[in-house]
Chains A and B, each alone.
Chain A
Amino acid sequence: NAGVTQTPKFQVLKTGQSMTLQCAQDMNHEYMSWYRQDPGMGLRLIHYSVGAGITDQGEVPNGYNVSRSTTEDFPLRLLSAAPSQTSVYFCASRIRDSSYNSPLHFGNGTRLTVT
């Protein structure tokens, strides 16, 4: 298994440009999430999904859209990039576990700079 794969690894955008950060997992995980990580801060939840066709907002959803058409993929869209969205973005997934004992598995991140 490749685990959680994020592309691209690095991206530079100009203010107002749009782009999609890709995330794919091959572990058949139902739960997928997007976090952003800023210097000196922990990870903050942007959006999450509990299964195909179901998404919900996290702590910092403004400026981001998501969709979940398949179990494997959970893309994050920036419709009009702003400098405040300069960050490292992590995608994470976990199995559906009724005992709630399964931790999140993270990708290696996409480093985004908006100028």
Chain B
Amino acid sequence: GESVGLHLPTLSVQEGDNSIINCAYSNSASDYFIWYKQESGKGPQFIIDIRSNMDKRQGQRVTVLLNKTVKHLSLQIAATQPGDSAVYFCAETPIRTSYGKLTFGQGTILTVHP
């Protein structure tokens, strides 16, 4: 990910609402995408992933959508809970490179109000 300054995008929602977090990626060769959640003082935690041969994938309360035409990725969280408050990162990699070489976005701060 490129440096875009010190101010992360933020999203504030009420408990029970649905949340949508967006990510634009830059590498047309990327074909594997991951969403991570990072709570304060902890390392990133895997949420869901998607390969470029899919445009949608669902998990438990989460859905990832991939639009390769405009290089856009989104994470939808259903019935958002206070425990979902965290920083969310998207990551991308071309499948031909080593898996350690993920490129991360800058992150989005999600705050869920009770």
B-contacting residues of A (Cβ < 8 Å)?
4, 31-33, 35, 39-45, 48-50, 56, 58, 90, 92, 94, 97, 100-109
B16–chain A nearest beta-carbon distance, Å? 28
Say which residue of A41, A92, A97, A107 sits within 8 Å of B100 (CB atoms): A92
Which residue in chain B gives the minimum CB-CB distance to A35?
Answer: B104
| A45-B3 contact given A90-B43, A105-B46, CB 8 Å threshold | no
Which residue in chain B gives the minimum CB-CB distance to A109?
Answer: B43
| A104-B89 contact given A31-B98, A41-B1, A58-B101, CB 8 Å threshold | no
Whole-angstrom distance between the alpha carbons of A107 and B44 in the complex? 8
* 1/0 contact string of B51-75 vs chain A (CB within 8 Å): 1000000000000000000000000
Which residue in chain A gives the minimum CB-CB distance to B51?
Answer: A101
Query: How many B residues face the partner with a CB closer than 8 A?
Result: 31
| A56-B98 contact given A40-B6, A42-B104, A103-B49, CB 8 Å threshold | yes
B5–chain A nearest beta-carbon distance, Å? 6
A-contacting residues of B (Cβ < 8 Å)?
1, 3-8, 32, 34, 36, 41-46, 49, 51, 89, 91, 95, 98-107
| A48-B104 contact given A43-B44, A100-B95, A108-B43, CB 8 Å threshold | no
